[in-house]
Amino acid sequence: MKVSILLLLVCTAILAVGARADAPDKTDEMVKKVQEYVKQAAEAVKTAFTTVNESEAAQQARRWLSDNTDLVKQQLARLREQLVGLWKVTPTA
């Protein structure tokens, strides 16, 4: 869930609770309801992230990144060796 969607939900909850408050002395009730809505939204986001993190696709992506990181490191080391060799061969003025 994107942060902008979460922010939109929180703002909507605040407006909804504010519209339901009939009198100014019910601000404590409004604050408690907003806190409850925010807590529920945070739990929903946490559950969604946990589900995505534990998914097979996420595990495959982590394995792919791990495998390709080693390959990229090897290629960078090879490129560095070539540049060092080129640096030594380049005549100085």
Hey, what amino acid is at 66?
S
Q: What are the residues whose beta carbons fall under 8 Å from the beta carbon of 34, sequence distance 6 or more?
A: 10, 13, 14, 17
**The pTM of the whole model exceeds 0.75:** no
Contact 40, 12 (CB under 8 A): no
CB atoms within 10 A of CB 38: 15
Structure confidence by residue, pLDDT tens digits, 12-25: 777 776 666 555 56
Backbone phi, psi, residue 55, to 5°: -70, 160
Structure confidence by residue, pLDDT tens digits, 10-67: 777 777 766 665 555 677 787 888 889 889 988 988 998 899 888 998 889 888 888 8
